[in-house]
A and B are shown apart, each in its own frame.
Chain A
């Protein structure tokens, strides 16, 4: 959980992306601004009054990316987001992709960190539908899209990057059904859900994990699977993305050690882009690889860790759009 989210929860406030308030009529909610650490929130926008756009611009210029609404009014804000922001055909798809990502960050992150399985599924399902809508239906130019992918590693950016990449790769591999693409995008968001049951000190450890810690970490696919398998609206492919994304082509992965041909296609897709995102994003202890080095790594691991055909396809996409 991010510091801003933790701080907001204290006052029953929910973080929202400042950018989603630019243009258009404001949502019918009170909007709060929070100063430094420990500061009390102050009212920034009173319900029913015009939104002070110059003040909003100043906040953005000063790097204030998060404002807050009361948890009781989050539904009104989400309605506004759907009607005014995401459904606005005048916005270019790429801008809507960025907005979707920024706007969903706190909602998805909150659900993924502490929500019940049902709320996680609802929130990630909505995100996946909008993602497919923005990326697939409206054909964002991939070259532009790769340019705006997040490179700072957080639970949300990793999940959202993997989800976006899974969608692009699945489509390139010939999956055309919109329903399946939504499922895959949602599976990508959910793939590491089990990590919320892994102690934070293990997840955030900067040095090498001990054998015991590594065993704990390796439980996350099973933990995620167990959490989701009781839900009626999860399909087999999504469950396999969660359960099998650390299986390897040569059968040396975990949790089952199952080889390539027995692993679900969606899980093999997820495995490739999961590794790609893990390599290319910055971590507190190392800079992310440049795409070329990540490509070399994937190429080297094709037929060992990863399905070689899927790697070939992903590399072709990356090269075409670099």
Chain B
């Protein structure tokens, strides 16, 4: 258990040390993520209902995977913040626009890495975008909307 905790601490330290260009809007700062009510996201139609548990934003590692030829991306790790997580996908806050269909890798605090495909992106401020993405499975893909 202790090992597990210290491993998590190490990972968290590593993730917190990653480059981060985010500027969090006031509603996303502080210890907890507002109230149970989440900012509504137009166009997000979930198959499974989601229960919101207020809590601190969770940091995660983020790295683009080459996916759209016309969009040049540096294969660099960034620190992003996870807004929520479901069985099929997640929502993150990132410092720049991510285009629908773009792939990126996400490194979670438990040490796991997941390949994701962006489904939508909304502007919050010039250094903060909220991005909804689906986990990419080997043969099929889950929807970001579940």
Contact = CB atoms under 8 A, between A and B. Distances in A.
Contact of A251 (B43, B123, B129): B123
Question: Which bucket holds chain B's interface residue count?
Answer: 10 to 19
B97 A258 contact: yes
A257 B123 contact: yes
B123 A258 contact: yes
B59 to A, nearest CB: 24
Interface string A237-275: 011000100000001001111110110000000000000
Given A234-B70, A236-B70, A239-B70, A229 B123 contact: no
Interface in B78-115: 97, 99-101
Given A218-B43, A234-B70, A235-B70, A229 B122 contact: no
B45 to A, nearest CB: 9
A232 B69 contact: yes
A229 B99 CA distance: 9
B39 interface: no
Given A219-B43, A262-B126, A230 B101 contact: yes
Contact of A257 (B70, B71, B122): B122
A239 B42 CA distance: 22
B68 interface: yes
Q: Tell me what chain B mostly uses at the interface: helix, strand, loop, or mixed.
A: loop
A110 interface: no
Interface string A215-231: 10011001001100110
B64 interface: no
A232 B97 CA distance: 21
B121 interface: yes
B43 A225 contact: no
A256 B71 contact: no
Contacts of B101: 225-226, 229-230
B71 A255 contact: no
A229 B68 CA distance: 6
Interface centre among B68, B70, B121, B123 (most CB of A within 10 A): B70
A251 B124 CA distance: 10
Question: Which bucket holds chain A's interface residue count?
Answer: 20 to 34
B120 interface: yes
A115 to B, nearest CB: 20
Nearest to A216: B43
A215 B44 CA distance: 11
B12 to A, nearest CB: 30
Contacts of B120: 222, 255
B70 A215 contact: no
B100 A225 contact: yes
A229 B8 CA distance: 38
B42 A215 contact: yes
A194 B108 CA distance: 34
B123 A225 contact: no
A243 B43 CA distance: 16
Contacts of A222: 100, 120
Interface string A149-161: 0000000000000
Would you list the 8 A-B pairs with minimal beta carbon distance, nearest first? A236-B70, A257-B123, A229-B68, A258-B123, A226-B101, A256-B123, A222-B100, A232-B69
7 contacts: A229-B70, A229-B100, A230-B101, A232-B69, A235-B70, A236-B70, A239-B71
